[in-house]
Amino acid sequence: KALPLERLLIETDSPWLAPVPFRGKPNEPRYVAQVAECVAELKGVGVDELARITRDNFFTLFNKAQP
């Protein structure tokens, strides 16, 4: 909760520790949506806003990547 949004990236812990409701199954990158929903709720922002912020953070951190 304490991490500022402008420092946040989202990932899954693939192939381990799948998010609820997939616990007990192998984790997959496609479950990142569930991670984003949980983080958005914790931070009090919408999922679309969180997606925009974390996308921008990615391109800031990896400045050689092209949007």
Tell me which amino acid residue 58 is.
Answer: F
Q: In this structure, are residues 8 and 46 in contact, taking their beta carbons and an 8 Å threshold?
A: no
pLDDT digits (tens, 9 = 90+) for 8-49: 999 877 778 888 888 888 888 888 998 899 999 999 999 999
- Per-residue pLDDT tens for 41-54? 999 999 999 999 99
Sequence-distant (≥ 6) Cβ neighbours of residue 21 within 8 angstroms: 34
pLDDT of residue 64: 84
Question: What is the pLDDT averaged over residues 53-61?
Answer: 94
Q: Can you give the residue ranges of every domain in the chain?
A: 5-60
The single-letter code of the amino acid at 17 is L
Model pTM score: 0.81
1, exposed or middle or buried, with CB in 10 Å at 0-12, 13-18, 19+?
A: exposed
Q: What are the strands, taking DSSP E only, across 1-67?
A: none
